[in-house]
Structure 1
Amino acid sequence: MTGRLRADARRNVEGIRRAALDVFRAGGLTTPLDEVARAAGVSKGTIYHRFGSRRGLIDAVVEELVLERIEGIITAVEALDDPLERFEEYLLRTWLLQFDEPAANDVLMRTLPESEPLTTLFDRSCGFGRQVLHDAQAAGAVRDDITPEDLAYLILERGVIARACDQQTRDDYRRRLDFVLRGLRTAR
């Protein structure tokens, strides 16, 4: 899009993108476009003119907002050898990302299921989660009755908790995650 635009229009688009990144990082993908427009110093109509829709703007920035963080989780977990440690570290890092990053939480909660980039990020994370679950179950470290769907709901539920219980500290949230993780292990 920016290659065909005049220089001032390209600056305008880039300013909107930068503002959207800042605003969505702080408040998540459901933050009103009025806040993005105010941060960019443009009208909401300019956002619609340049990006077509709210979803168009989100699609234009969501990978930059979240992809690196999800890939970072996957890379860190892949470096671990123990299947239980990999499983628990995947969940712990994902849950903490949901607490720390409202935009990442929106991706993992599928706030905008019609967004192709958002769905791709969600599917990447869940696909990796299914693999670490399978590996941990095959090693006898995680309960056999946990399904990939259960895993997706555990992430969704943690996202709801992170959003609804925004007065809790990160340390308290982290402490409660340990309770959940222990409940997923096999009895030894």
Structure 2
Amino acid sequence: MTRPDRPRRADARRNVEGIRRAALDVFRSGGLTTPLDEVARAAGVSKGTIYHRFGSRRGLIDAVVDELVAERIQGIIAAVGEFSDPLARFETYLLHMWLLQYDEPAANDVLIRALPESEPLLNLCEKAQEFASGLLGDAQRAGVIRADLTPEDVNYLILERGAIVQACPQQTRDDYRRRLRFLLDGLRSPR
């Protein structure tokens, strides 16, 4: 890494930005566990240059995680927060998180904690879990979600969806979404 007290040359800044852009593209399509060789190839640099500029795979991921996933998850949280109905908030949150897992391999890697050593990723997961727990509590107090569902159950439902997305890449988004409805219906309180 360059020394913090010395500004980077313009070509070094362009190099770092090129690696960041390549990492965003590669991680979006292949997930966070994609080999760094692919990022290097897409950026037109050596893998050693990535390590020189970012220190490690984790350093590169930490440098792109906000743009890659955090903004999407924060957007879901903000959008869901605008609903007044507790059932709509809870179900919309889960549905959007599950669809994010389907649409973005990198988001799925974050939510299933494929890289547990990344502090920004862990913080993002914790924030999402706290928000989901609050939604669950509100929905249960309103009597619209099963009383026996726990925050841990919700976390596992997200982890399980991530495993299914990875294990069943042949399913279409429409089929995946249809099956999500079965899950959501099963979480509702019996009438």
Secondary structure at the counterpart of residue 4 of structure 1? coil
Please, which of 150, 153, 157 is the counterpart of residue 150 of structure 1? 153
Q: Describe the superposition over 1:49-93 as per-residue Cα deviations: whole angstroms up to 9, x where unpaired.
A: 111111110011011101111011111111111111111001000
Partner Cα distance (1:166, 1:95) in 2? 14
Counterparts of 1:109-128 in structure 2, within 5 Å, are 109-128=112-131
Partner letter of residue 71 of structure 1? Answer: Q
CA shift digits 1:7-51 (9 cap, x unpaired)? 111111111001001100111101100000000000001101111
Between the two proteins, the alignment pairs up a number of residues equal to 188
Give, in whole Å, the separation in 2 of the partners of 1:143 and 1:80: 20
Return the offset for 1:132.
0.3
Q: Equivalents in 2 of 1:46, 1:142: separation in Å?
A: 51
Query: What are the equivalent positions in structure 2 for 1:158-177 lying under 5 Å apart?
Result: 158-177=161-180
Trace 1:29-178 onto structure 2 (pairs within 5 A).
29-178=32-181
1:20 paired residue number: 23
C-alpha distance in 1 between matches for 2:175 and 2:91: 18
Output the TM-score relative to the length of structure 1. 0.97
- One-letter amino acid matched to 2:154: L
Structure 2 residues without counterparts, runs of 5 or longer = none
Question: Secondary structure in 1 aligned to 2:84?
Answer: coil
Percent of residue pairs identical: 73
Residue type at the aligned position of 1:27:
G
Q: CA RMSD in A?
A: 1.1
